[in-house]
A and B are shown apart, each in its own frame.
Chain A
Amino acid sequence: MDNLNVKIDSLLKTRQDAMFNYARSTSELIDLGVKIKNKETDDTTVPMSFEPYLEKYNISNLEFEWEAKYKDGSILRQFEGEEQRNFSHIDQERLASISFISNFNWPSEEGRDPRIIIRLNWETGLFEFQNGFINQDTRAYACMEPLAGNKKLILFTRKRFSSSAGEINDQYKEFFPFEDEVFYYNRFVIGYETENGMKALIVMPNGNIEKFEK
């Protein structure tokens, strides 16, 4: 047996496994809603299964933005033209509902509003949904048995950034084009707490909606 052939076969297998694992892990990251940005090309990956992200997304860089509706019918948006608002701008005394609305279209039935909307009715303490993935247990938790008591709004974005330190050996650099990547992962938390507990949901950037526990 030619030992060099054994070595070459072993290296081919290592390389093939690595390429497969790279492709699979990248696909899974993107499906989870992790954005991978290449510093050199400035390209950012987004889930291919969604319709193209709306133009608004390019302004805020967030998959979801909040919108507060007041009892008098007026609306306060997180981003509106040049205006940017945060939690402190929301008047909870006047609140009728608060929503997270997606900046991408969901593959919905024709004729339906394709955006994902998670709306908390501030008066009833119950959630309403349009599009997105939510399992039956979470839906029951969100849509039934509101908490009694004075409500305090919970509304924030959980952000994650991952980037690298270190260097690839010069001898391998020309075969390793990935070192200038940064990974973004945003989640959106909406709900309320009273003296009787907390009721809140966490919205993933891919449209999955889950019960939020601190």
Chain B
Amino acid sequence: MAATFAWAQTYGTSPGTVASLGISGNLFNYKRTDDATAANYSTNPVTAGQKSYEVWLRGKFTGTFNKIDNVQFWRSTDFSPNTGLSILWAPATPSAYATPVTGANECVSAVPTSDPGTANVRCRGGLASGLVASGYTDYIVTQLSTTSAAAAGDTSLAVFTMNYDES
């Protein structure tokens, strides 16, 4: 199988707990509780005008490979409808975990909405460093930000993409 990719989420008070999310299905939801359970969003809703807890994700690579590099992340499709909804991220893709919050913290700009063309997710602290053994990328931190115009109920789906080179 060469390298095997899966999403991993870290949650809880630093140093946090790591949960493997796999790769398919609805892997996570934005909500007002900090855990790695997608299903409990409806009992922890984000009130219109608030932010969700940050979601701290990493790409996890295992298996046989020489190098994983050129890691890119973007949002392929937005929520539809998306009125009052925006997804923020931490463009620095930090290598150190910090306890997720609901306020303004790591997520300072809009998540990329198209193929960035070059690496935008760090590994081992650098955009060119890559992984040379099984391990994780640095953190991809995202957060749902809402305005009072956001509609009640579920948001619908947004599609996120991970792209990388494997040798």
Write the nearest CB–CB distance from B26 to chain A, whole angstroms.
Answer: 6
Tier of interface size on chain B? 35 or more
- Does B10 touch A at the CB level, under 8 Å? no
- Does A195 touch B at the CB level, under 8 Å? no
**Would you give the 0/1 interface string for B1-38, flagging 1 where the beta carbon is closer than 8 Å to chain A?**
11001010000000000000001111111100000000
- Identity of the chain A residue whose Cβ is nearest the Cβ of B74 in the assembled complex: A162
- Does B163 touch A at the CB level, under 8 Å? yes
- Give 27 A-B contacts (CB < 8 Å), ordered by A residue: A39-B24, A60-B2, A84-B2, A84-B63, A86-B65, A86-B66, A86-B167, A87-B167, A158-B164, A158-B165, A159-B164, A161-B162, A163-B7, A163-B27, A165-B27, A166-B26, A166-B30, A166-B154, A166-B155, A167-B29, A167-B155, A169-B154, A170-B154, A179-B26, A182-B23, A182-B24, A182-B25
Q: A39-B25, A62-B2 are in contact. Are A167 and B163 (CB under 8 A)?
A: no
> Which of B1, B23, B79 has a CB less than 8 Å from the CB of A163?
B23
**Would you give the 0/1 interface string for A86-112, flagging 1 where the beta carbon is closer than 8 Å to chain B?**
111000000000000000000000000
> Which of A158, A179, A189 has a CB less than 8 Å from the CB of B163?
A158
Q: A156-B166, A180-B26 are in contact. Are A162 and B1 (CB under 8 A)?
A: no
**Would you give the 0/1 interface string for A48-63, flagging 1 where the beta carbon is closer than 8 Å to chain B?**
0000000000011110
Q: A165-B27, A180-B25 are in contact. Are A159 and B158 (CB under 8 A)?
A: no
> A-side binding surface: helix, strand, loop or mixed?
strand
Task: Please state if B5 and A161 are interface contacts (CB–CB under 8 Å).
Answer: yes
**Would you give the 0/1 interface string for A182-205, flagging 1 where the beta carbon is closer than 8 Å to chain B?**
110000010000000000000000
> Which of A62, A87, A167, A170 has a CB less than 8 Å from the CB of B66?
A87
Tier of interface size on chain A? 20 to 34
**Would you give the 0/1 interface string for B38-69, flagging 1 where the beta carbon is closer than 8 Å to chain A?**
00010000000000000000000001111100
- If A161-B163, A163-B7 are given as contacts, then 18 extra A-B residue pairs at C-beta distance below 8 Å, sorted by A number, are A60-B1, A78-B2, A84-B1, A84-B64, A86-B66, A87-B66, A164-B26, A164-B157, A164-B158, A164-B160, A165-B159, A166-B156, A167-B41, A168-B157, A170-B154, A180-B24, A180-B25, A182-B24
A37–B159 Cα gap in the complex (Å)? 14
A59–B163 Cα gap in the complex (Å)? 22
